[in-house]
Amino acid sequence: MKHQLSQRVQEIEESITLTLNNDVQKMLESGRYIYNLTSGQLPFKPHSPFIASISTELNFLKSFQYPPSEGFRELRQKFLNDFMKSRQVESSGMDCTISNGSKQSLFNALATLVDPGDEVILLTPYWVSYPHMIRLLGGKVIEVQTSVYDSFIPDLNEVEKSIGPKTKAIIINSPNNPSGVHYDENWMKAMAKILVKNPSVYIISDEVYHKICYFDPKPVYFYQFEPSLLERTLVIDGISKFLASTGLRIGSCLGPNEIIQGMKRMQGQTTSGANSLIQRALIHYNFDLAQDYLKAIHEHIRSNAEVLMEVLEQENLSHLWYQCKSAFYFLLDFSSLPILEHCDDKKDYSSLVAKKLLEFEDVAVIPGGPSGIMNSLRLSLVEEQEPFEKGIRKLIEFLKKFKL
Ligand code: PLP
């Protein structure tokens, strides 16, 4: 029987990252060795005090029952305290909701702000889910382009030009997935000035990689220079990345009370709130310990970034290198490489290239086209060093020798 799905759902594309991850998992299960450079999660066990806290909470009935739809009060306060301490700002007038992962926090935030016809500005490269969420809500995506030659840092004149009468919000994701850079202090200061000049624009600051930074100086934010901007900023965070807990599905959103109340209503009617057991375990886990846990992980990512830089240098591709600093990704722009010699330079071939790489070279990567940068590939830096280097070498050889 042919089913008639809603127009809304027909227009949603499959998440490319999750699809590729599933393909890779199937290949691994069939015994095939894959150089897996797709990973959007740290391949390590979470911090042991956090695991111990989960075990303890298993003893309580409350851990198995409905949570308050906006999250347990102690945990919401904990996210607010961690925010004030780590960003050195006051959070008076701000509230917090806990959701099933930052992805749901983002969707609730957008659903609470965006009406059909509203424009939302995305800075390329962006996280692949943003445009789908915006379009699902009837919003229009406005892109600000960047390039590898500017280390994927958006030009602020272009950002300013993209703001118009229909602009409802801008999403700023620093540290950034997929580029692995964070915007520096000068950029954030100038961005703050632009935002002050445009008082009707809301800001969604996706900070899920805030604690994952292996190169100084650390990430800073526009509201640290203009604290009044917190009156219209939603800060997205969660435990998936910094506690290596993507499967536990806990995200948070901090923002002005009225918007958070709207998000709470939205969540109450759709999911009734997030996992009680994990929320309670987090209440008893000291967030300050996370930096200790992340130390070895930061070193691992940094040394893979160095390997990548050396390989690009040896292959005479240093022009494709920029200093990645945070999160755990690098975006390789292959638009100048021989693989595209006979191709239309206005088209994106990143998905095709990723498919062929997996088929012919057993190397799995994420195409960068769906992140707004044509003919680029996202490489994850979390794989063990030896297979990482081998995978990179195979990938570059393929991009140099193969012609589409
Ligand atoms: N935001 C960014 C930039 C991400 O990269 C991700 C996940 O990859 C998320 C949000 C969602 O994270 P989660 O829903 O696992 O908390």
Q: What is residue 23's predicted lDDT score, i.e. its pLDDT?
A: 83
- The ligand 1 atom at the shortest distance from the C-alpha of residue 103 is 14
Instruction: Please check the confidence at residue 284 and state whether its pLDDT lies above 90.
Output: yes
What is the average pLDDT across 375-395?
97
Distances (CA, A) of 294 to 45, 241, 282: 12, 10, 17
CA of 100 to the centre of ligand 1 (A): 11
CA of 106 to the centre of ligand 1 (A): 9
Q: What is residue 156's predicted lDDT score, i.e. its pLDDT?
A: 98
Q: What is residue 85's predicted lDDT score, i.e. its pLDDT?
A: 95
Q: Ligand 1, from 16, 105, 108, 127: best to mutate by most atoms within 8 Å of Cβ? A: 127
CA distance 264 to 258: 10
Average pLDDT, the chain: 95
Q: Ligand 1, from 39, 103, 105, 378: best to mutate by most atoms within 8 Å of Cβ? A: 103
Q: What is residue 279's predicted lDDT score, i.e. its pLDDT?
A: 98
Instruction: Please check the confidence at residue 365 and state whether its pLDDT lies above 90.
Output: yes
Q: Ligand 1, from 20, 122, 126, 208: best to mutate by most atoms within 8 Å of Cβ? A: 208
Instruction: Please check the confidence at residue 42 and state whether its pLDDT lies above 80.
Output: yes
Q: Whole-prediction pTM value? A: 0.96
Q: Ligand 1, from 16, 177, 282: best to mutate by most atoms within 8 Å of Cβ? A: 177
- Could you identify the residue written with the tokens 């995200």? 251
CA of 268 to the centre of ligand 1 (A): 21
- The ligand 1 atom at the shortest distance from the C-alpha of residue 40 is 8
Instruction: Please check the confidence at residue 153 and state whether its pLDDT lies above 80.
Output: yes
- The ligand 1 atom at the shortest distance from the C-alpha of residue 127 is 3
Q: What is residue 100's predicted lDDT score, i.e. its pLDDT?
A: 97
Q: pLDDT band for position 11 (50/70/90)? A: confident
Q: What is residue 24's predicted lDDT score, i.e. its pLDDT?
A: 86
Q: Ligand 1, from 174, 234, 241: best to mutate by most atoms within 8 Å of Cβ? A: 241
Q: pLDDT band for position 236 (50/70/90)? A: very high
CA distance 190 to 7: 41
Q: pLDDT band for position 26 (50/70/90)? A: confident
- The ligand 1 atom at the shortest distance from the C-alpha of residue 104 is 14
**pLDDT above 90 covers what percent of the chain?**
90
What is the average pLDDT across 230-244?
97
Ligand 1 binding residues, C-beta < 6 A = 40, 101-103, 127, 173, 177, 206, 208, 238, 240, 246, 251
Q: pLDDT band for position 13 (50/70/90)? A: confident
- The ligand 1 atom at the shortest distance from the C-alpha of residue 209 is 3
- Evaluated on CA atoms 340, 341, 347, 352, the torsion sign reads negative
Q: What is residue 390's predicted lDDT score, i.e. its pLDDT?
A: 97
Phi, psi of 211, rounded to the nearest 5 degrees:
-85, -5
Count H helices, E strands: the chain? 13, 12
Phi and psi based region of residue 342 (left: phi greater than 0; alpha: psi -120 to 50; beta: remaining): alpha
Q: What is residue 152's predicted lDDT score, i.e. its pLDDT?
A: 98
Which positions ≥6 away from 251 have C-beta within 8 Å? 98, 99, 100, 101, 102, 103, 104, 105, 106, 208, 236, 237, 238, 239, 240, 274
Distance of CA 47 to the CA centre of its chain: 21
- Write out pLDDT tens, residues 157-197: 999 999 999 999 999 999 999 999 999 999 999 999 999 99
CA of 232 to the centre of ligand 1 (A): 21
CA of 314 to the centre of ligand 1 (A): 34
What is the average pLDDT across 368-379?
97
Q: Which residues on neighbouring strands pair with residue 141, listed in sequence order?
A: 120
More confident call, 93 vs 18 = 93
Q: pLDDT band for position 22 (50/70/90)? A: confident
Q: pLDDT band for position 102 (50/70/90)? A: very high
CA of 175 to the centre of ligand 1 (A): 12
**pLDDT above 70 covers what percent of the chain?**
100
CA distance 322 to 259: 38
CA of 208 to the centre of ligand 1 (A): 6
Of 21-25, 250-254, 333-337, the range with the lowest mean pLDDT is 21-25
Query: Which residue has the least CA distance to atom 5 on ligand 1?
Result: 177
